[in-house]
């Protein structure tokens, strides 16, 4: 299997996506939050790149059937129901609701990925089941790290490494460049220290500083939610 890692949304050129299985990764926290929301009973998640776009979509839906969710630079958008901490997405809050989600990095990456043959929403929380589906689909794989405001993100990269580790452990022959090798090697030596590792990142240290280290601990739980999440160009569903 040919595997590539895209480091930021800016690198997501058409020819890197077409015909492939794309897995979008925004570990802290958009894709972890999406997987959590769906596992806990949200009907759908609709990623929206812009805040206005998110509000307008809400106006099209019946009141009480949806939640407006998202952040800018880690802070909940004013007037929104929820921010971007997966810990907010409890069953009693999200069950049966459409989650309209707009985040700084992750939602842009998800929308950009739609040129791929199939788009999966990936995180540490649903690592193994997502890789099983990638194997089943039989296409080349592109792991799309969202990055942090256009820059390389440590936590997304090590999540890509966790995915590659799964494929290697299943005996899949991987053709990949030094990004793939580095992500894998990094994960191999930090698999037992993911919280410590992710706390060193720009996003992670910001969360620690604002008292939200619990988010990192939550998002680091490997295979906690064995849920396969697809994006069809408009909605994430399972």
User: What is the spatial distance between Cα 71 and Cα 96, in angstroms, rounded to a whole number?
Assistant: 22
Smallest distance from a second copy to CB 228, Å: 28
User: What is the spatial distance between Cα 90 and Cα 206, in angstroms, rounded to a whole number?
Assistant: 23
In DSSP terms, which residues pair with 71 in a beta bridge? 76
User: What is the spatial distance between Cα 145 and Cα 99, in angstroms, rounded to a whole number?
Assistant: 22
Residue 179 in contact with a second copy, rule: CB under 8 A: yes
Stretch that binds a second copy, among 35-43, 82-90, 95-103, 186-194 (CB under 8 A): 186-194
Smallest distance from a second copy to CB 153, Å: 5
Q: 56-95 mask for a second copy (x: CB under 8 A)? A: ----------------------------------------
**Of the candidates 66, 80, 157, 224, which one interacts with a second copy according to CB under 8 A?**
157
**Of the candidates 151, 168, 170, 235, which one interacts with a second copy according to CB under 8 A?**
151
Q: Please, which contacts does 205-214 make with residues 24 or more away whose CB atoms are closer than 8 Å?
A: 206/74, 207/28, 207/74, 210/74, 212/85, 214/87
**Of the candidates 41, 90, 118, 152, which one interacts with a second copy according to CB under 8 A?**
152
User: Cα dist. 115→2, 12, 15, 106, 172 in Å?
Assistant: 18, 10, 9, 16, 25
Smallest distance from a second copy to CB 183, Å: 9
The DSSP bridge pattern shows strands 230-231 and 236-237 to be antiparallel
| Nearest residue to 158 (alpha-carbon basis) of 204, 112, 117 | 204
Residue 185 in contact with a second copy, rule: CB under 8 A: yes
User: Cα dist. 222→112, 127, 226 in Å?
Assistant: 26, 7, 9
**Of the candidates 126, 201, 212, 236, which one interacts with a second copy according to CB under 8 A?**
201
Number of chain residues interacting with a second copy (CB under 8 A):
19
**Of the candidates 148, 159, 165, 212, which one interacts with a second copy according to CB under 8 A?**
148
Binding footprint of a second copy on the chain (CB under 8 A) = 148, 151-154, 157, 177-179, 181-182, 185-186, 189-190, 197, 200-202
């Amino acid at each position: 299997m040919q595997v590539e890692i895209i480091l930021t949304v800016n690198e997501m050129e058409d020819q890197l996506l077409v015909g492939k299985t794309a897995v979008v990764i925004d570990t802290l926290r958009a894709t972890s939050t999406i997987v959590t929301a769906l596992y806990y009973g949200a009907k759908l998640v609709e990623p929206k790149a812009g805040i206005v776009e998110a509000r307008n979509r809400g106006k099209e839906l019946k009141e009480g059937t949806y939640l407006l969710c998202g952040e800018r630079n880690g802070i909940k958008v004013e007037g929104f129901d929820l921010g971007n901490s997966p810990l907010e997405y409890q069953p009693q809050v999200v069950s049966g609701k459409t989650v309209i989600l707009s985040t700084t990095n992750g939602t842009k990456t998800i929308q950009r990925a739609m040129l791929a043959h199939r788009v999966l929403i990936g995180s540490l929380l649903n690592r193994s089941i997502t890789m099983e589906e990638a194997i089943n689909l039989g296409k080349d794989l592109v792991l799309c790290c969202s990055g942090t405001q256009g820059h390389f993100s440590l936590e997304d990269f090590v999540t890509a490494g966790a995915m590659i580790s799964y494929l290697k452990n299943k005996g899949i022959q991987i053709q990949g460049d030094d990004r793939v090798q580095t992500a894998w090697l990094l994960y191999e030596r930090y698999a037992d220290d993911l919280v410590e590792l992710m706390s060193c990142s720009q996003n992670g240290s910001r969360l620690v500083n604002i008292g939200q280290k619990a988010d990192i601990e939550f998002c680091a739980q490997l295979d906690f939610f064995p849920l396969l999440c697809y994006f069809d160009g408009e909605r994430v569903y399972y």
